[in-house]
Chain A
């Protein structure tokens, strides 16, 4: 049995072949899987794969289009690959500025006891150059209006617009990662969004595994 894992900064996805989504801080310390990508995966796997390559292979497997933009929004980063006429055209990974993406949203939902699937996108938003600066704007607005739901919604729309601008203001994007389950985030993006779920990178790892086996005649 081959075990695949996508080790995120806060959530890890392990497939053996059942799917387990585990908090990264609760992973067994001595875990070793066969194929992995992500946070510290070189120490937790027999084969470590570049995350952008895993994302790319996952996109090619799951998306039946010649032209596509696939965006993975993680806890602290945004990654994307762009294909044109079935050829790799562009990639980007914003890990430094604009960080604290998914994790900031998760913390806010927990702290204020909100469910983003119950919130509608607001008309306005904050510019969110990074999670921390955005959070200070939330506090300012709550002090001013007392409306926690609106303040958090505006912050999340700001993060969604960051993703939209970073990926080149597309007409359509395929979305990967935990935010596929966040209606407010998806509806805040001003373009067509096709959510593909949390296992796109795992699908990429499986595809690389299959290609390796084929090339070795297995």
Chain B
């Protein structure tokens, strides 16, 4: 049975479906028909649009949809619409776990692309990793998983991950304290998808920690790329 999931549902629920064909609907699943323009307002974030398009294209028999504080109101409303208007079977969850699983991937020496892949795959196939910690990270990246993965290429290996992605690895997706934790001495890019409410956090954390705030609607633009490259260079994270 194909089972979709959205956000980070509780581990206990995921365990029940471990033997099924689990599909992360937040992720890029390749070419799917884009129907969001018919049903969703333009001011929906790219990830919400992607979840919607993936759900309609893949039509999983069931979707485990985390609608708690670890996701967002747009996700909660989308979950309702998929059930009520598109007849999908939805299992709504609220992941309130506060038992820390640790952040070895976020803190490791790996590239950002590899880190994000490991963190996101870990929900489907959980593994414990024994990775060397980067003792002197040159840069930080505060974000949710990005729509456009090309952004990861702009950061040096060992870039430390903060924000919701850190909460995700730690198995505590609604932990706001952890989400707002940043190492103040590391030049950090605060990235949010355009129209996502996390922009409020990103802009203010960037102001307080002298980081770079960028919001990006889906595909990375030339100006976002140039800002990140310049920030990294001018703050000495890259040569």
Q: Footprint of B on A, CB under 8 Å? A: 50-53, 56, 77, 81, 88-96
Take A88-B234, A88-B235 as given contacts and tell me if A93 and B210 are in contact as well, using a CB distance cutoff of 8 Å: no
A150–B81 CA distance with the chains assembled, in angstroms:
49
Does B130 count as interface, using CB distance less than 8 angstroms? no
CB nearest neighbor in A for B227: A93
Q: Is the CB of B210 within 8 A of A90?
A: yes
Does B192 count as interface, using CB distance less than 8 angstroms? no
Take A89-B210, A90-B210 as given contacts and tell me if A95 and B230 are in contact as well, using a CB distance cutoff of 8 Å: no
Take A50-B233, A53-B234 as given contacts and tell me if A91 and B227 are in contact as well, using a CB distance cutoff of 8 Å: yes
CB nearest neighbor in A for B194: A96
A91–B235 CA distance with the chains assembled, in angstroms:
11
Name the segment of B54-62, B172-180, B218-226 touching the other chain: B218-226
Q: Is the CB of B226 within 8 A of A52?
A: yes
Task: Produce 1/0 per residue, B122-139, CB < 8 A to A.
Answer: 000000000000000000
| Nearest CB in chain A: distance from B199 CB, A | 14
Does B183 count as interface, using CB distance less than 8 angstroms? no
Q: Which among B221, B229, B233 is the interface contact of A95 at CB below 8 angstroms?
A: B221
A92–B221 CA distance with the chains assembled, in angstroms:
13
Task: Produce 1/0 per residue, B201-239, CB < 8 A to A.
Answer: 000000000101000000001110011011101110000
A51–B222 CA distance with the chains assembled, in angstroms:
11
Residue among B222, B223, B229, B231 with max Cβ neighbours from chain A (10 Å): B223
User: Given the complex, which residues of A lie within 8 Å of B233, measured CB to CB?
Assistant: 50, 53
User: Given the complex, which residues of A lie within 8 Å of B222, measured CB to CB?
Assistant: 95
A56–B231 CA distance with the chains assembled, in angstroms:
11
A134–B235 CA distance with the chains assembled, in angstroms:
37
User: Given the complex, which residues of A lie within 8 Å of B227, measured CB to CB?
Assistant: 52, 91-93
A179–B26 CA distance with the chains assembled, in angstroms:
44
- Other 15 A-B pairs with CB < 8 A, given A88-B234, A95-B221: A51-B226, A52-B227, A52-B230, A77-B223, A81-B230, A81-B234, A88-B235, A89-B210, A91-B212, A92-B227, A93-B223, A93-B226, A95-B223, A96-B221, A96-B223
Of all A-B residue pairs in the complex, the 7 with the closest CB atoms, nearest first, are: A52-B230, A95-B223, A88-B234, A93-B223, A53-B230, A50-B230, A50-B229
User: Given the complex, which residues of B lie within 8 Å of A53, measured CB to CB?
Assistant: 229-230, 233-234
User: Given the complex, which residues of A lie within 8 Å of B231, measured CB to CB?
Assistant: 91
Q: Is the CB of B234 within 8 A of A56?
A: yes
User: Given the complex, which residues of A lie within 8 Å of B235, measured CB to CB?
Assistant: 88
User: Given the complex, which residues of B lie within 8 Å of A51, measured CB to CB?
Assistant: 226
User: Given the complex, which residues of B lie within 8 Å of A56, measured CB to CB?
Assistant: 230, 234
A40–B235 CA distance with the chains assembled, in angstroms:
26
Residue among A51, A88, A89 with max Cβ neighbours from chain B (10 Å): A88
Residue among B221, B229, B230 with max Cβ neighbours from chain A (10 Å): B230
User: Given the complex, which residues of B lie within 8 Å of A90, measured CB to CB?
Assistant: 210, 212
| Nearest CB in chain B: distance from A200 CB, A | 15
A16–B20 CA distance with the chains assembled, in angstroms:
67
| Nearest CB in chain A: distance from B41 CB, A | 17
User: Given the complex, which residues of B lie within 8 Å of A77, measured CB to CB?
Assistant: 223
User: Given the complex, which residues of B lie within 8 Å of A50, measured CB to CB?
Assistant: 226, 229-230, 233
| Nearest CB in chain B: distance from A174 CB, A | 17
User: Given the complex, which residues of B lie within 8 Å of A81, measured CB to CB?
Assistant: 230, 234
Take A56-B234, A88-B235, A89-B210 as given contacts and tell me if A94 and B223 are in contact as well, using a CB distance cutoff of 8 Å: yes
What are 19 contact pairs spanning A and B, CB under 8 A? A50-B229, A51-B226, A52-B227, A52-B229, A52-B230, A53-B233, A56-B234, A77-B223, A81-B234, A89-B210, A90-B212, A91-B227, A91-B234, A93-B223, A93-B226, A93-B227, A94-B223, A95-B223, A96-B223
A88–B236 CA distance with the chains assembled, in angstroms:
10
User: Given the complex, which residues of B lie within 8 Å of A96, measured CB to CB?
Assistant: 221, 223
| Nearest CB in chain B: distance from A58 CB, A | 13
CB nearest neighbor in A for B229: A50
User: Given the complex, which residues of B lie within 8 Å of A91, measured CB to CB?
Assistant: 212, 227, 230-231, 234
User: Given the complex, which residues of A lie within 8 Å of B210, measured CB to CB?
Assistant: 89-90
